[in-house]
Amino acid sequence: MDFFTVEDLTAGYGKKEIIDHLSFSVDSGCLAGVLGANGSGKTTLLKAICGILPHTGSCILEGTTLEKLNPRQLSQRCSYIPQRSGISIDISVLDVVLMGFNPWLGLLERPTASMEQKGRKALALAGLEGKEQQNYQTLSEGQKQLCIFARALCCEGHLLLLDEPESALDFRFRYQMLERLRRWLSEDARAAIVTLHDPSLALNYCHRLLLLSEGKILGTLSPGTDSLPRMEELLEQIYGQISLARLPARSGREHLVMLREEA
Amino acid sequence: MGRRTGAAKVMCVLGALAMAVLFAASLFVGKYPLSLRELAAGNELQLRVFWTLRASRTCVGAVGGFALGAAGFVYQTVFRNPLASPDIIGVSSGASAGAAAGILFFSGAAAVTASSFTGALLAVVIVLALSALDKSGSKNTIVLAGIAVHSLAQTVLMCLKLTADPERQLASIEYWIMGSLNGISGYSTGGNLLLCALCLAVLFPLHRQIILLSGEEGEARMLGVSVGKLRLFVLLTATLTVSAVISLTGLISFIGLLAPHGARLLTKDNRQATMLLSGLAGGSLLMAADILARSAASTELPVSIFTSLLGAPFLILLIRRQTKKH
């Protein structure tokens, strides 16, 4: 049985369908990337999976149909990081991270000391050590993304959905975040689906890639095993004329690089 | 939780002290000054004034102001709008129309209180029923429904004013709308204050959930919050609190808006201590305004004049202090 399966998923805004009868599955430990042009349905796909958008079809995580769960049960299994968090009030960074424990707390319960400790650890893991008492509103956009990433880690769900989590991060933190995400996935039976704008990042860190175009799946890639010509052929349908190359870093690890070819 | 939480606690203690001092002053200041010695000596007239007028009036000032301040914190947080107040969902307008109907068709202060409370509740029920038509449960729908009910209640109020006797009833309606703690007696306040206390006892433990409601709806849902149900419950409880106060006092401007802002500017966060400080600031402001309303002139003045006069400079002072720091 697959760890996470999406079956015949259709969703949109009002009567306009953005994603159209999508089906795919993700294995345990897999970091699945979603690539596509603007408006291809990447964010809609994540919002539909986590039930924020009304949809038809079903999403099954470890044998449980997510559509049958109430918000509390759903958030215990599945965490979501939006492109931008809607937090607009003055609140400390640590308090934002502690929100991640809400699925495990009763209505009137407060986070325990051990949860606070875990929250501090998650902040340190996200690179925000020492900023626990800082006002969330005074963080840079990139730091806010890291803070929300730390909060999602605290939710302890088995499926993590990340919507362009790297969009406000600098070069160093982009790579660090995905490295930490891969490490987090390897610690337990977990999977993550991440939408990305940067194909190079996706090609080097995702185990599997879903290519979306106009709400449909163009194809899937496994960057670790697929041949360069096959990957080029599929990626060109989204990005136009491109070429891929494998370049070794000083460490010896090979990196996939995507270059745009002149038309 | 650090230095800031400690500072917030100190401010809450100072706020409670301010409320205690104003509570004591409110018991003894007025047209008929009371003295502790005479009360202890068993002066019958003084005891009667104390128990029938001052005690209930002071309790309404303290609890009512506290409730308006704390409810203001809830409205502003849930709606993510610094200008949010009970008006945003038509409560004040409903209470005004209800009070006007009470003045026109019934007699006695208790009847006006009951009628005003019914008007406020009716407004809330209509707002919630209208917003339930939108299955997405968006808070914008609640605000739009509130604007519609506010307009409707204002129309009812205008019609009632047109039919009112200009000499007596119209003046009473206008006086009620201006807000006053005058004429509050122990017989008519008990139920309302109890309801206020119960609602506050529900709202304070829900503080963490109220903060979660301040985010985007989808984000809150993915943190395990049943957004629609919880928001409905929190707003209904906050509105009941406000209805219980303004049906006794008439419309009191500024406290629900100013107290939370003042508290946030002092603590720089939105923790439970800030919600408590909002209540303490509200209670202190209403009691101070009421003391001035009954002692500044030969006739009793509307309390809202003083809540605005005391509150606005305080808020400006805090904003100036904040901008200087930046």
The pLDDT tens digits for A73-83 are 999 999 999 98
* pLDDT of the residue at A244: 92
Any idea what DSSP says for residue B51?
I
- Give the pLDDT confidence of A107-157 residue by residue, as tens digits: 999 999 999 999 999 999 888 999 999 999 999 998 999 999 999 988 888
Inter-chain touch A71–B212, beta carbons under 8 Å: no
Query: Checking DSSP bridges between strand A4-13 and strand A55-61, what pairing results, if any?
Result: antiparallel
Answer whether A86 sits within 8 Å of B4, measured CB to CB.
Answer: no
Looking at beta carbons, which residues of chain A come within 8 Å of B225?
71, 102
> Cβ B222–A99 below 8 Å, yes or no?
no
> Position of tokens 């600098």?
A170
CA gap A148, A168 in Å, rounded: 12
A100 at B interface, C-beta within 8 A: yes
What CA–CA distance (Å, rounded) separates B257 from A79? 35
A76 CB neighbours in chain B (<8 A) are: 224
Residue A54: closest C-alpha in chain B: B136
Distance from CA of B260 to the nearest CA of A (A): 13
Q: Which of B210, B214, B221, B222 to mutate to test the interface with A (most CBs of A within 10 A)?
A: B222
pLDDT-flagged residues of chain A (< 50): none
Residues of B in contact with A105 (CB under 8 A): 208
A155–B4 C-beta distance less than 8 A: no
Residue A11, both tokens: 């969703």
The full set of domains in chain B, from first to last, is 3-277+291-301 (1.10.3470.10)
Residue B99 phi/psi, 5-degree rounding, is -65, -40
Kindly give the parts of chain B with pLDDT less than 50: 1
Minimal CA–CA distance to B249: which of B181, B173, B169, B171? B181
Between CA B195 and CA B192 the distance in angstroms is 5
Compute the distance between CA of residue B253 and CA of residue B232 in angstroms, rounded to an integer: 24
Best to test chain A binding among B202, B223, B226, B278 (most A CBs inside 10 Å): B223
Residues of B in contact with A78 (CB under 8 A): 222
Chain B contact for A91 (CB, 8 A cutoff): yes
pLDDT at A16: 86
Residues 219-238 of B with CB under 8 A from A: 219, 221-227
Between vectors from CA A135 to CA A129 and to CA A138, what angle results, nearest 5°? 95
User: Residue B137: what pLDDT?
Assistant: 59
B216 chain-A contacts, CB cut-off 8 A: 82, 85-86
CB contact under 8 A, A52 and B77: no
Shortest Cα distance, chain A CAs vs residue B142, angstroms: 19
Q: Does B208 touch chain A (CB under 8 A)?
A: yes
**Average pLDDT over all residues of chain B:** 87
**ipTM of predicted assembly, 2 dp:** 0.88
